[in-house]
Amino acid sequence: MRRPLRELLDECLARTLSGEATAEECLQLYPEQADELRPLLEAATDVRQAQVPACDPAAYAAGKRRMLEALASRPLPARTSVPRALVLRRALVLAAAIFVIAAAGLLLPGWPTAEIDRQATLANAGGLVQVLPVGDDAWRAALVGERFESGDRIRTAASATAVLAFFDGSTTWLEPETEVTLAAMSSRRDGGERTTSLFQWSGATFSRVRPLPDQDSRFEIETATALAAVRGTEFALRIQEDGATLVTVNEGAVRVTGGRATVEVGELEETAVEPGGDPEPPRPAALPAPTPELPVPERLPDPPTPTRTTAPPAPTATALQPEETKDPGLVEYERTPAPVDSEITLQPFERTVLPHPIERTVTPVAVDIGKTPEPTAVIKTPAPAGTLVPVDKTETAQPALSPEPTRTPEAKPTEALALSPEPSSSPEVKPKKTNVPPGQTKTPPGQATKTPAAAANP
């Protein structure tokens, strides 16, 4: 059987990097795939030949000194217990101080012009949307209504979309497989000098930008090849397969910078910026960029309030994760904010089968598997709830640490869930609680579904 190219490539790289064989010797081992392997191994050789940079010893020492100085100036964590009365008194004094400072601030001439950080809200989502909070090292599922700060990264999975609503009323839709960093969001306290700045890593966005109040305000999206800056407009920005950035303007104008040149793209025009190149001269767009279908709610949703009343099932319970979003620290479960027709309760080390249509209506949440599972988890579905299947506890012992999880990228969610092909035929376990008997649903399959851990987002 012919081995996948990625396997052969990995083997060849291991051999060449260890000095066991040259690239040519590897190619001779696999003559059928030599034509495909050769350019990849050549690229690897070019990277290896680049000199590995080493830090200057003086800079190394200076960096360490700077770190230790920062440590010395850091306030020490409070370690002593303080009597409750004293805590209350301190809180009152602090509140009074804050009131006095705030009142004084209102009278200060510079107060209205002070710059303050702003936020964006996940106004709507269809499918898996994740956030990597600034300074954090793990992606987790984002919830509708969640607020994001400058530096947070947001991404959508395949076939997922999202709408970000910014503090000034501007909105940006994220198409499937899109990733952006909210690089900066700020304004003056009086609302002037608005800055909304995104870095788009991949995918496609569509932005509707509110007119900016002054010359110092800006809304811009940067990519690896271009910077698109606007002053109140509607435009789409797509990063293409070859890394080029394509900007299409529906209304207003967008100033696109790349390389050493800037062009102004007007209404119903578009331009492309190749990696390392200048923007192409604007040309008429064949069609205006289509407005995304995902609606923006008139009123922004409230921030989600985490509760632990329904807990996640054991970590090895069936998880839905696209290949690129797998993270050993997270397991994601399905959830939609819709009415519920049936409900079952999972005990630790049990898992269940969910109906097929659920995969089209999911909004996942993340569960930190490093935490001990809570006693039970509730799964609610519109279709017949599945049958509980006890999970082998030995299987759950180290789920996230296995270098090769048993989930395969090819497995469809429903396949992964299908632990018991005939839910009702499993006699050894029964649903703990069912609002609607299996087989009787109030809503058709494919509509509203809800699954556990709705509030288990860490």
Partner 1 sequence: MSNEEAALVERAQQGDPAAFSEIYDRHQPAIYRYISFRVGGTAAAEDLTSEVFVRVVGRIDRFKYRGRPLLAWLYTIARNLVTDHHRRVGRHTVTPLDEARPAPGEGPEARAERHLAELGVVRALGALTEEQRQVILLKFVEGMDSAEMAGLLGKTVGSVKALQHRALAALRRAMDAEEEGSRR
- Report d(CA 133, CA 118) in Å as an integer: 15
Q: Site residues for partner 1, window 261-280 (CB under 8 A)?
A: 274-277
Q: Does 337 bind partner 1 (CB under 8 A)?
A: no
| Closer residue to partner 1, CB minimum distance, 77 or 109 | 77
Whether the Cβ atoms of residue 163 and residue 144 lie closer than 8 Å to each other: no
Closest CA to 256 of 247, 268, 243: 247
Q: Say how many residues make up the chain.
A: 458
CB of 274 to partner 1, least distance (A): 8
Q: Which of 136, 214, 392, 415 binds partner 1 (CB under 8 A)?
A: 136
Contact stretch for partner 1 (CB under 8 A) within 6-14, 96-104, 291-299, 417-425 = 6-14
- How many residues touch partner 1 (CB under 8 A)? 81
Q: Site residues for partner 1, window 157-196 (CB under 8 A)?
A: 181, 183-184
Closest CA to 164 of 206, 109, 108, 226: 206
Closest CA to 451 of 333, 307, 349: 333
Q: Which of 324, 392, 395, 415 binds partner 1 (CB under 8 A)?
A: 324
CA angle 301, 302, 304 (to 5 degrees): 110
Contact stretch for partner 1 (CB under 8 A) within 45-53, 168-176, 210-218, 262-270 = 45-53
Q: Does 202 bind partner 1 (CB under 8 A)?
A: yes
Burial of 315 (0-12, 13-18, 19+ CB in 10 A): buried
Q: Does 27 bind partner 1 (CB under 8 A)?
A: no
Q: Does 368 bind partner 1 (CB under 8 A)?
A: yes
Q: Which of 176, 288, 328, 445 binds partner 1 (CB under 8 A)?
A: 328
Residue found by looking up tokens 């609503």 in the block: 165
CB of 392 to partner 1, least distance (A): 21
CB of 398 to partner 1, least distance (A): 10
Q: Is 93 helix (H, G, I), strand (E, B) or coil?
A: helix
Q: Which phi and psi (to 5°) does residue 223 adopt?
A: -125, -175
Relative to beta strand 129-132, strand 140-141 is antiparallel
CB of 62 to partner 1, least distance (A): 7
Contact stretch for partner 1 (CB under 8 A) within 96-104, 264-272, 324-332, 351-359 = 324-332
Contact stretch for partner 1 (CB under 8 A) within 51-59, 281-289, 376-384, 418-426 = 51-59
Q: Does 217 bind partner 1 (CB under 8 A)?
A: no
Whether the Cβ atoms of residue 112 and residue 188 lie closer than 8 Å to each other: yes
Q: Which of 32, 137, 293, 422 binds partner 1 (CB under 8 A)?
A: 137
- Report d(CA 269, CA 360) in Å as an integer: 35
| Closer residue to partner 1, CB minimum distance, 13 or 429 | 13
Q: Site residues for partner 1, window 381-420 (CB under 8 A)?
A: 400-401, 403-405, 408-409
Q: Which of 19, 31, 35, 47 binds partner 1 (CB under 8 A)?
A: 47
Angle between helices 5-18 and 34-49 (to 10 degrees): 40
Q: Which phi and psi (to 5°) does residue 378 adopt?
A: -110, 130
Contact stretch for partner 1 (CB under 8 A) within 55-63, 119-127, 386-394, 444-452 = 55-63
